[in-house]
Structure 1
Amino acid sequence: MDRQLAAALESGSFAHGLRTAIRMRGLTLEQVQHELVDRGVVVSSVTLSYWSRGRSQPERAESIKAVKLLEGILDMPAGSLTALLAPPRPRGPRRAHVAVSIDRGRLWNEAHRLDRVMAQLGSLDEERLCLLSVHDRFQLDEHRRPIQLSITEVIRAQRDRVDRALVIFQGRELGRTPRLTVARGGWPGRVRIDEGAGFLVAEVMLDRVIDRGDTAVIECALQHGGQPEPMTDYDRRLPYATRSYLLEIEFHPAAMPVRCHATTRPTIENTRRDVRELMLGGAPHAHLALFDVEPGIHGLRWEWD
């Protein structure tokens, strides 16, 4: 075994050992992720990055299986990485801390297909940026169908020389691909879709290159075409804690829902739970405002009849 890798393993740090092994094998995180997929385990490149930087650690059975496979992929002695894993963090109904991150595979249905779409955009990965705040605004027409989703994000660079951000959307009607426009903060880049799974991943090219710690504001919109089905819900998937999230649904005055609920669930493995009912009154809109938002899936659902 290489002396440098041996020293990294002797340090007792799982993150340091994994990071050193990946660097010494000359692989990118995307290449490592594809090797895992070929062996039947889906772990996103974002999660691999978090593991290698110590932002999170493998704990679930599927993640431990991935670590064992990584030992072979990275030509490491069997058990060398798993031996460095710290004991699982205590869990309970009321934890005193917020979870660091949630694997993308637990936030999106068919996340492996999302990974493939993102891979088409090259080495882009979400850990280059973090979301400080998000504002989603969905407009519906008189037939209860989506017209436009407007997104405003305050982002902060996690590394130097960041020049683009990613917009991820999943909808049932992507066969009629939404059109991306950027109102401020940059301009549209490449767009890749998986119509079968309903994924759209688009680049927003920033109007300036930002370095670690710098912030930027981007405002973009997805404009729907064709004849999509009436909408009954919308949610935002947050892989890590975010300072604030604002969701607005603008209904047409001639097509008002009869009930509206704020919803949440930690992952797609959990049942969506109604948090509270929103009083609509006569206003043709509803909103959800959250602060110090935990990772998970947060949104609104409404009933037409």
Structure 2
Amino acid sequence: MSFERSIRRSSEEFSSALRDAINARGLSLARLHEMLRSRGNGVSMATLSYWRSGRRRPEGVQSLAAIAEIERLLHLAPGELTARLGATNRTGPVGPNQFPMNEQELERSVRDAFAALGAEYPDTARELTTHSVTDVDAAGNVAHCQTRSIVQSTVGTVSSIPFLELTPGEPTPAPIITAIAGGRIAARYSHPNGEVHGVLFELDSPLAAPDTTIVEWAVDYPPGYPPQRETGHAVAMKCRELLVWTRFHPDAIPDHVTERVDNPQGTTTTTTEIGGRTSVAQIRRGFGPGALSLSWSYDDGR
């Protein structure tokens, strides 16, 4: 059964059960509305009518709270109505879709990259949960970065997603980006300014809103690539959980680390001692749009 047919069927089952329960108690819809209002629930009479007829279904937090109250008022078992709603066709709170940094010139380069890759800007897929793991070599430089993400289509159907590597103010050759799971690399692009490199990650199968899938990719660096002592991840829409985990070689534990948080409004930085740790885990929930990064340094001048 398709997702849309499943939604339609569960909506019909819910509205039928609601009508039967109201009739069984001998209540009018107006009386039920009055009882809800007396208990502080402001759901409108029109909304109740839509639910009873099946023209709409309750989905938001306030609506589901109203259904829980209706179950009590109609002497139903807890969950007797809500269980009939099944899956939701909502994406949940999406928030604004914005370039994650206050860098207009860089955003223009990113737009160029999207156009060259044949991708719509801004991207309509969002990262629900992303774990980005960076390994630092014995010289203190980034050696390898691997990222796993649960992505969701927020509008229409998504068949591919652009993933970009940004080095603002530092032209570099293209890093080596490889697909590990969830799809394949369909196209590659490097901006003439050398600050934006990326790929078009073609999903194993198209993703229709609000469905999700898991993708995983890795970034390595070719010989002659400038040494990197910074890592991070950026999201253009709110991410439920973002983890940036930086793991240091035992011979390259830094003396200082600096956390940087960029967003469309500006930048904040926090410098701290690493305190003998061999890794730093930056965890944010409800993060974005923005970029979370970590840089490090050594007192011995390496």
Match of residue 165 from structure 2: 169
C-alpha distance in 2 between matches for 1:173 and 1:127? 25
Match of residue 144 from structure 1: 140
8 Å Cα contact 1:260-1:280 kept in structure 2? no
The structure 1 residue matched to 2:220, chosen from 217, 220, 223, is 223
The structure 1 residue matched to 2:202, chosen from 186, 201, 205, is 205
8 Å Cα contact 1:110-1:197 kept in structure 2? no
The structure 2 residue matched to 1:290, chosen from 281, 284, 299, is 284
The more displaced of 181-190 and 224-233 is 224-233
8 Å Cα contact 1:176-1:226 kept in structure 2? no
Taking structure 1 as the reference length, what is the TM-score of the superposition?
0.60
For residue 182 of structure 1, report the CA deviation from its aligned partner.
1.1
Match of residue 159 from structure 1: 155
For residue 278 of structure 1, report the CA deviation from its aligned partner.
6.2
C-alpha distance in 1 between matches for 2:275 and 2:284? 18
For residue 236 of structure 1, report the CA deviation from its aligned partner.
2.4
C-alpha distance in 2 between matches for 1:150 and 1:280? 25
Aligned residues between the structures: 206
C-alpha distance in 2 between matches for 1:132 and 1:291? 10
For residue 224 of structure 1, report the CA deviation from its aligned partner.
0.6
C-alpha distance in 2 between matches for 1:293 and 1:105? 13
The unaligned stretches of length 5 or more in structure 2 are 1-92
What is the aligned-residue identity percentage? 17
The unaligned stretches of length 5 or more in structure 1 are 1-96
Structure 1 residues 105 and 292, CA gap change in structure 2 (3 angstroms): closer
The answer to whether 1:303 aligns with 2:300 is no
Structure 1 residues 119 and 104, CA gap change in structure 2 (3 angstroms): farther
C-alpha distance in 2 between matches for 1:277 and 1:286? 11
Match of residue 87 from structure 2: none
Taking structure 2 as the reference length, what is the TM-score of the superposition?
0.61
The structure 2 residue matched to 1:128, chosen from 104, 124, 134, is 124
8 Å Cα contact 1:132-1:154 kept in structure 2? yes
Structure 1 residues 235 and 109, CA gap change in structure 2 (3 angstroms): farther
8 Å Cα contact 2:183-2:203 kept in structure 1? yes
**Which amino acid in structure 1 is aligned with residue 245 of structure 2?**
E
8 Å Cα contact 1:156-1:213 kept in structure 2? yes
8 Å Cα contact 2:114-2:162 kept in structure 1? no
Structure 1 residues 213 and 125, CA gap change in structure 2 (3 angstroms): same
The more displaced of 110-119 and 223-232 is 223-232
The answer to whether 1:262 aligns with 2:259 is yes
**Which amino acid in structure 2 is aligned with residue 259 of structure 1?**
H
